[in-house]
Amino acid sequence: MGGENKGAAKPQAVSSLCLVFSVFLFSFPNSALAGNSSFSPPINYLIDCGSTNQTVLQDGRIFKSDHDSTSLLSTNEEVQASVDSVNLNVSSSLPPSSLPLYRTARIFSEKSTYTFHIPKTGPLWVRLYFFPLPHASYDLKSAVFSVQTDRIVLLHDFSVRNDSTLLFKEYLVNVSDSRFSLKFMPNENSFAFINAIEVVSAPDTLISDSATTVSTHGEFKGLSHYAFQISYRLNVGGPQIPPNEDTSSRNWEPDNPYNIFPDGTGDASVPAKSIKYPETGATPLIAPSSVYATAAQLKDAQVSEHNFNLSWRMNVESNYSYLIRMHFCDIVSKSLNQLYFNVYINEMEGVSDLDLSSETKALSTAFYKDFVLDASAITKGYITVQVGVDNLLQGTKNAILNGVEVMKMSNVANSLDGLFTVDGKYMGPSSITNVLKIVAAVGLGLAATAMLFIAMICIRWRKRPQGSDKGNNISSWLLPLSSAKCKSNLSSYKSSKSSGSRRSSKFGSRKSKNAISGYFTTNGIGRFFPFSELQQATKNFDENAVIGVGGFGKVYLGTLEDGTKVAIKRGNPSSEQGINEFTTELDMLSKLRHRHLVSLIGFCDEDPEMVLVYEYMANGPFRSHLYGSNLPHLSWKQRLEICIGAARGLHYLHTGAAQSIIHRDVKTTNILLDENFVAKVSDFGLSKAVEKAYVSTAVKGSFGYLDPEYYRSQQLTEKSDVYSFGVVLFEVLCARPVICPKLPREEVNLADWVMHQHQRGMLHTMIDPRIIDTINSESLKKYVEAAEKCLHDHGVDRPSIGDVLWNLEYALQLQESASQIHAPEDKSANCIDFRNPDDRKEDHSIASTSDGADLTDVTLFSQIANFQGR
Ligand SMILES: *[C@@H]1O[C@H](CO)[C@@H](O)[C@H](O)[C@H]1NC(C)=O
Ligand SMILES: *[C@@H]1O[C@H](CO)[C@@H](O)[C@H](O)[C@H]1NC(C)=O
Ligand SMILES: *[C@@H]1O[C@H](CO)[C@@H](O)[C@H](O)[C@H]1NC(C)=O
Ligand SMILES: *[C@@H]1O[C@H](CO)[C@@H](O)[C@H](O)[C@H]1NC(C)=O
Ligand SMILES: *[C@@H]1O[C@H](CO)[C@@H](O)[C@H](O)[C@H]1NC(C)=O
Ligand SMILES: *[C@@H]1O[C@H](CO)[C@@H](O)[C@H](O)[C@H]1NC(C)=O
Ligand SMILES: *[C@@H]1O[C@H](CO)[C@@H](O)[C@H](O)[C@H]1NC(C)=O
Ligand SMILES: *[C@@H]1O[C@H](CO)[C@@H](O)[C@H](O)[C@H]1NC(C)=O
Ligand SMILES: CC(=O)N[C@H]1CO[C@H](CO)[C@@H](O)[C@@H]1O
């Protein structure tokens, strides 16, 4: 772990709400500050882990909470209720100057993954913030864990033992996939934590492929195949340059702590404006002009003695190679061809007679040089960088250095911490070879013992990676959570259910109903309602309170004593199907908790009444916002967000619970919208838990949405839901009923007709005319592509709902980025007040919490989504 970067976090005062606003209104995220030379990262994920609110730093950067980043990052939101997500409120134990990011943490007791969309491949900064906050049930100082990307091990068996140190780790990784994941893997019997994460694009030109090898002076090729950890980044001869003043949100430390003979060093500086960049070579993205505008040089007295090196020493970890980048800019000479000096790294000559004049052809012009220092050349645990007078040549006796960066390079195991690969394979000197050596030395007599030893090693060996992999694979989305608790309770419920003969009487035997209520009480999932309370809540089931009718009976809007509005489903005792659906729904909902599933508040089972009580969804069914009512129409972005929410709910059903669950009745009337237009999937009356790969069952579902394959074969799979969801997607795009008997025969069925029209290139004739002009064509393309795949005849050809979800999110990003490009005023003007009301409404639907997060969603979106605008 070394001493690298400790305490590199820079001081920040607490930002008050007032400050939040002023920062927001009058300054813009880092790129804007840097003016012309700015780089707006196409990927810019800033996450304050474990916080409930977004966090605005003084420099204007906004870190979103990982709870409400759901529009950007997919979440398995089951985690919200979990003990693993803990908000820590201990501002007292932190240095007052520390970044607010350190004030909350998220704790993982199992392997957990953050997954990010990567719209543009290339180099990425990955920045991690750690601080072991005190916590009642977790001693974060004792946490031991690993952190990995898909290919690179960033931290292995890592722990933060010192609770007076803020730890900041910065990496540069190359990403060539459209997804990037960051995995937190606790060691056995331990857990992991993280305070904040940045995943931000780095300029493509940042690292070129070649450098000079210090020990051989040869060329080192293939740098782009390495991952790097930033060990040091020094602005030599000048002050700290904080992230908001850098072109790529980097922090540059002052060099004093590393200067070995500071007495011999004089600082030089010029105004940053006077720094020029050459046509080829250094650019503002390599280092901002403020780095080149300051330098260390020899003090006059030392110059006259001619024999003095300026020297900096930085502790590093042995057994890694390092990329060392030195920045030069001749701001000390009066004219060209006066300054010649030597550059040494670990007492080896890096460059002799470096002549900046011939490199840059002008004074005050930026220049940098990359060196690779081989692991074998680091024998004492540090790197020394020196510049010194070249006594052989004429000119001024001086030497300068403007900046230096030291970056650890990934090793044979693709690791930046240890010799284990991401798969847990050990790449060091083989321990088995060692054992064999022992065998040879000790002789045959001990061979058997040694063999045993080998066997043990092998067994441990096998166990390790598998065990660490298994963890939890509920979903690839952000923050998966164990469903173990659910499972154990589920099985007990299952057994009690099968032992009680539920269908023997109208509502099942008393015994099974007791089992149900017992289940609820032990789990605290729902509340038991006395029937009288529900009578009161609905004014004795007043017909005027009816908001829907289902197979089992009617749904009423009720108001509980505390004023909470709820939807109350009252079973119809005369309907056998109703009872079945009723029990299925109770069964399903009691094990499912997800932000995008309508949740059950409680129930009542006073004979003969059986009533379910749900959260009330103020905006009703999605369909009524599409057609057939006078409600205002939804924008394309809102529709996308609702579809994404519904897809997430279905994805959770298919993959998130102990068993895969097939909804079987996906349609726009079963997608309900809450007061913020957050979509929730409802009506589990027909749902089936899948025990085996296929379930053969009587065909049920809704006409127009029904999977033709399921209809033919009666084999039910998750892909039937995917089909229905594909129909929903076209219904949303076209805003017409899926079956419309009044139309000419070939147009009656939406799914058939839309595919037909699409094949003829006539899709535009079908699109909802109210929004057609606002849909970005790329977004539309992606969306239609996804919808079309869902409607494949054969289930196997259809994507999983997870893939559909992914594509919808991508379509949303494309729409977002397009609106940023076409409406630049939205970006530069502040995003609160000058937008039209329609747009503002959309933002509310993004914000999943009511705490005003919509304010910043806009900016964050513009940063994240603006990947086309470069
Ligand atoms: C921005 O930089 C480019 C070259 O880097 C230059 O040509 C242009 O004039 C600059 N624009 C402004 C507004 O400074
Ligand atoms: C979240 O932010 C809102 C308003 O910005 C504030 O009222 C609330 O106290 C914050 N909550 C927390 C937990 O900091
Ligand atoms: C944190 O704790 C302090 C007192 O210890 C309290 O005043 C403050 O409201 C708490 N903040 C949050 C966000 O809970
Ligand atoms: C923790 O860090 C502080 C400051 O960095 C240092 O003074 C102290 O010795 C460290 N404690 C341990 C146990 O390493
Ligand atoms: C890293 O990215 C560069 C371009 O950004 C690419 O040429 C190179 O092949 C990548 N390396 C790896 C290992 O993916
Ligand atoms: C400067 O450092 C190099 C390498 O460490 C050394 O060979 C040289 O003698 C030093 N020069 C002076 C003047 O000390
Ligand atoms: C470096 O590697 C060598 C041999 O692989 C090993 O003996 C040594 O302990 C390692 N050093 C460190 C600091 O890990
Ligand atoms: C995790 O899930 C992915 C995709 O769902 C699958 O390919 C992979 O094999 C799973 N891993 C484990 C360890 O179950
Ligand atoms: C039977 C069973 O495992 N019940 C458990 C259900 O979950 C609660 C708390 O999560 C446990 O206390 C019960 O033992």
- Give the nearest ligand 9 atom to 485 CA: 10
Residue 488 CB–ligand 9 contact under 6 Å: yes
- Our answer on whether the CB atom of 492 is closer than 6 Å to any ligand 9 atom is yes
How deeply is 94 buried, as exposed, middle or buried, from its count of CB atoms within 10 A (0-12, 13-18, 19+)?
A: middle
Domains 14-201 and 210-409 share a fold: yes
Q: In whole angstroms, what is the distance from residue 783 CA to residue 779 CA?
A: 6
- Cβ 489 under 6 angstroms from ligand 9: yes
Q: How far is the CA of 19 from the centre of ligand 2 (A)?
A: 14
What is the model's pLDDT at position 271?
94
- Residue 174: CB within 6 Å of ligand 5? yes
| pLDDT tens profile 620-652 | 899 999 998 889 999 999 999 999 999 999 998
Residue whose CA is closest, atom 1 of ligand 6?
A: 309
Q: Is there a contact between 708 and 722 (Cβ–Cβ < 8 Å)?
A: no
Q: Which fold has domain 628-836?
A: Transferase(Phosphotransferase); domain 1 (1.10.510)
For the Cβ of 224 lying below 6 angstroms from any atom of ligand 5, the answer is: yes
Ligand showing the shortest atom-to-Cα distance for residue 375: 7
User: Tokens 């999110």 map to which residue?
Assistant: 809
534-562: pLDDT as tens digits: 888 888 888 888 887 765 678 889 998 88
Whose alpha carbon is nearest atom 8 of ligand 8? 473
For 732-771, the pLDDT digits (tens) are 999 999 988 888 888 889 999 999 999 998 999 999 999 9
Q: Is pLDDT at 366 greater than 90 in this prediction?
A: yes
Write down the mean pLDDT value for the chain.
75
**Ligand 2 center–CA 99 separation, angstroms:** 17
Among 215, 302, 344, say which to mutate for ligand 6: greatest number of ligand atoms within 8 Å of CB.
Answer: 344
- Measure CA 665 to chain center: 31
**Domain 210-409 fold:** Jelly Rolls (2.60.120)
Report the nearest-CA residue for atom 3 of ligand 7: 319
What is residue 251's predicted lDDT score, i.e. its pLDDT?
Answer: 95
Confidence of residue 337 (pLDDT cuts 50, 70, 90): confident
- Whether 209 lines ligand 5, by a CB cut-off of 6 Å, is no
| CA pair distance 128, 96, nearest whole angstrom | 20
Question: What radius of gyration do the chain's Cα atoms show?
Answer: 32
For the Cβ of 501 lying below 6 angstroms from any atom of ligand 4, the answer is: no
Using alpha carbons, list the distances in angstroms from residue 770 to 264, 439, 775, 833.
Answer: 73, 80, 10, 25
Q: Quick check: CB of 715 below 6 Å from ligand 4?
A: no
The answer for residues whose C-beta is within 8 angstroms of residue 445's C-beta and 6 or more apart is: none
CATH topology of domain 488-615: Phosphorylase Kinase; domain 1 (3.30.200)
Residues carrying an active site annotation: 665
| Six-digit token string for 843 | 């933002």
488 confidence band (pLDDT: 50, 70, 90) = very low
Q: Is residue 726 very low, low, confident or very high in pLDDT (cuts 50, 70, 90)?
A: very high
Distance 274 CA to ligand 9 centre (A): 70
Helix (H, G, I), strand (E, B) or coil at 613: strand
pTM for the whole structure: 0.55
Neighbours of 625 (CB within 10 A): 22
Q: How far is the CA of 588 from the centre of ligand 7 (A)?
A: 55
Q: What's the CA-to-centroid distance between 31 and ligand 1, angstroms?
A: 15
Q: Give residue limits of the domains in the chain.
A: 14-201, 210-409, 488-615, 628-836
Poorest-pLDDT segment among 32-46, 72-86, 305-319: 72-86
* Strand, coil or helix: 326: strand
Give bridge partners of residue 621 from the DSSP assignment.
Answer: 672
Interval 143-193: pLDDT, tens: 999 999 999 999 999 999 887 788 999 999 999 988 888 888 889 888 888
Ligand with the closest atom to the CA of 228: 5
Helix (H) or strand (E) holding 839: helix 837-846
Q: Which ligand is nearest to the CA of 283?
A: 1
Q: Which bound ligand lies closest to the C-alpha atom of 209?
A: 5
Q: Is the CB of 341 under 6 A from ligand 6?
A: no
Measured from the Cα of 226, ligand 5's closest atom is 13
Transcribe 804-836 into DSSP letters. HHHHHHHHHHHHHHHHHHH-HHHHHS-TTTSS-
Distance CA 806, CA 438 (A): 54
Annotate 644-689 with three-state secondary structure.
Answer: HHHHHHHHHHHHHCCCEEECCCCCHHHEEECCCCCEEECCCCCCEE
Third-level CATH fold of 14-201 = Jelly Rolls (2.60.120)
Give the Å distance between the CA of 94 and the centre of ligand 2: 20
Query: In this predicted model, what pLDDT tens digit does every residue of 828-865 receive, in sequence order?
Result: 322 222 233 333 333 333 223 333 323 222 222 223 33
The better pLDDT of the pair 461, 470 is held by 461
Nearest CA to ligand 6 atom 10: 309
Residue with CA nearest ligand 9 atom 5: 489
Distance of CA 61 from the midpoint of ligand 3 (Å): 24
